[in-house]
Amino acid sequence: MSSETSAPSRALAWGVHLYTATGVVWGLLTLLAILERRYVDAYIWMIVAIVVDATDGPLARRFRVKEAVPSVDGALLDNIVDYLNWTFVPVVFLWHAGWLLQPAWVFGALVLITSAFAFVHTGAKETELGYFRGFPSYWNMFVFFADILHRNYGPEAGDTPHLITTVALCSLAALSVLPVYFVYPTKAPRWRPFFIWGSVVWTLQGIAMIWHYPDIPAPLFWSSLVFPGIYLSVSFLWTPSVHRSLGASETELDDSAQ
């Protein structure tokens, strides 16, 4: 790297790191909106955080931030921001909105702990294979569908929506630490355009639902379940092949060490 370009390169790299770090600001604004029961605003700030998270990685690779600012661990910064926005804030949302069975703090703690272990696992992101290990802490998305579930059940339903939400939460929390592999959309080994464009369309559907919130048209809601259903199904179906690939890699390492 020449001296003429090193300073601009470092400035751009720092700009990318600051862009990633703004995620904590969007998380704070989301929390404030939740505590004031401004749920539409909370969802808007959540979307802003998602957009930042989806775009900072490509920017980091484009401007080669690891080389330009080696003193900053961008991956660690990204994980800190992600844990706040994708786990901690959604748990506060679920607790504050009263959508869990009691004692709600116990179920919230379950998510916080399992997600923490999922984030620090050495194989949390098998980027070369194109997978996340365990449920990738999409708790902010879980919150939105929990909201819709509770709004579509009347008071006569009793604890039914709370039971459904809590059981689903516990199931996903368990999947956070189990060796199940979920497709990494932008690095999917197969059907990558489908997963990328599917994610884009699904995000647009989410924005449309927030626009109509709380009176979300039924066709929009049901159609928004198509991509997540395909995503989960394919992830489960492809998990055995990931295990075989990881097993083959370990065998090669053992052979090379001998």
Q: What is the pLDDT of residue 250?
A: 53
Instruction: Name the phi and psi angles at 38, rounded to 5.
Output: -95, 75
In DSSP notation, 95-155 reads HHHT-S-SSHHHHHHHHHHHHHHHHH-TTSEETTTTEEES----HHHHHHHHHHHHHHS-G
Is residue 78 over pLDDT 70? yes
User: What whole-number distance in Å separates Cα of residue 39 and Cα of residue 45?
Assistant: 10
| pTM of the shown model | 0.84
* Contact indicator for 149, 87 with CB cutoff of 8 Å: no
Query: In this predicted model, which residue has the larger pLDDT, 9 or 30?
Result: 30
Identify the CA nearest to 184 among candidates 224, 138, 225.
138
Q: What is the mean pLDDT of residues 35-44?
A: 94
Considering the chain, what percentage of its residues have pLDDT values greater than 90? 47
Q: What confidence score (pLDDT) does residue 162 get?
A: 92
The predicted-structure confidence for 176-192, as pLDDT tens digits, reads as follows: 999 889 998 888 888 89
> With 80 as the cut, is the pLDDT of residue 252 above it?
no
Residue 5: pLDDT band with limits 50, 70, 90: low
First to last CA, the chain: 39
CA count, 13 A, side-chain hemisphere, 123: 15
Structure confidence at residue 124 as a pLDDT band (50, 70, 90): confident
Domain boundaries, the chain: 3-257
Mean pLDDT to the nearest integer, 92-106: 95
The mean pLDDT of the chain is 87
